[in-house]
Amino acid sequence: MGKYIEMIRVRFLMMLAYRTNYYSGILIYSINIGAYYFLWNAIYGGKGEIEGLSVIQMTTYIAVAWMARAFYFNNIDREIAQEIKEGKVAVEFIRPYHYLMMKTMQGLGEGIFRLSFFSIPGMIIVSLIFPIEFSAALSTWMFFTIAIILSFIVNTQINLLTGVMTFFFFNNDGLIRAKRVVIDLFSGLLLPISFYPGWAQQVMDFLPFQAISYIPSMIFTEGFTGFAVWEAILFQLVWAVILILPIQALWVIAKKRLIVQGG
């Protein structure tokens, strides 16, 4: 286990090595939150609430969704694809660890870095500028913590799945890009799931994406209360377990047919 924890630390150091990325990230996220804040204000107009969310809940939703994204978001699918294309996986195979586990840990290192240097300070700044409601209830914070950890797991699993597909397609930039758009759209980052038409909501109930953004944000804004919270976390948990199967299956097949490219 020590090696996996060490990897988190190393990734943390790598993030520090590229500070410019970090500063530009803060800027991009602030612009996004600002833009959505004004957009939603315009949509709400004078209305008290839409689909059960008040305007303050909505702004909180947007801010939290983006800040949580800083934690769960990572580019490990792209990294895996890159390493496969350049033949660097060869090096990973001669190390006594599980490659995908190591990649997950790198994602986690990145996530923890962004959470502590980016999301938390960012959230404080945003709350000074825009009216945002923080819940005082300890249980909400607790559930939110569990929910974002699970959202990290589900998002990372989807990334691993897309990344490992490179073994079969050799060039899957298109797939990676499509996945990114699908996640932004169907995870509830841009629009809460409850705003989608009924039939679309039903379809999304059978897909893992809302586990990524919609559920933690709804828990934080207290859009979910009582039994709904438990149900939502169970939904995340079930997907986190289900997704292990295709990843493991693809990984086993990929190892068998691995061809190291470039020498």
Structure tokens at 82: 């890159």
- Provide CB contacts within 8 A for 243, sequence distance 6+: 154, 157, 158, 161, 208
CA-to-CA distance for 175 and 263, rounded, in angstroms? 26
Q: Does residue number 3 form part of the binding site for another protein (CB under 8 A)? A: yes
CA-to-CA distance for 89 and 103, rounded, in angstroms? 12
- Closest approach, Cβ 69 to another protein, in A, equals 23
Within residues 13-32, the interface with another protein by CB under 8 A covers 13-14, 17-18
CA-to-CA distance for 97 and 99, rounded, in angstroms? 6
CA-to-CA distance for 258 and 68, rounded, in angstroms? 35
Q: Does residue number 263 form part of the binding site for another protein (CB under 8 A)? A: yes
CB distance 192 to 201 below 8 Å? no
Nearer to another protein, 10 or 28 (CB): 10
Among 40, 88, 149, 204, binds another protein (CB under 8 A): 88
The site string for another protein over 241-260 (x = CB under 8 A, - otherwise) reads: --------------xx-xxx
DSSP H helices, the chain, are 2-17, 19-44, 55-72, 76-85, 89-93, 99-114, 120-129, 138-164, 166-169, 173-186, 198-204, 214-220, 227-242, 244-256
Nearer to another protein, 83 or 150 (CB): 83
Length of the chain: 263
Among 2, 46, 174, 226, binds another protein (CB under 8 A): 2
Nearer to another protein, 92 or 133 (CB): 92
The site string for another protein over 91-130 (x = CB under 8 A, - otherwise) reads: x-xxxxx---------------------------------
Within residues 152-211, the interface with another protein by CB under 8 A covers none
- Residues forming the site for another protein (CB under 8 A): 2-3, 6-7, 10, 13-14, 17-18, 87-88, 90-91, 93-97, 255-256, 258-260, 263
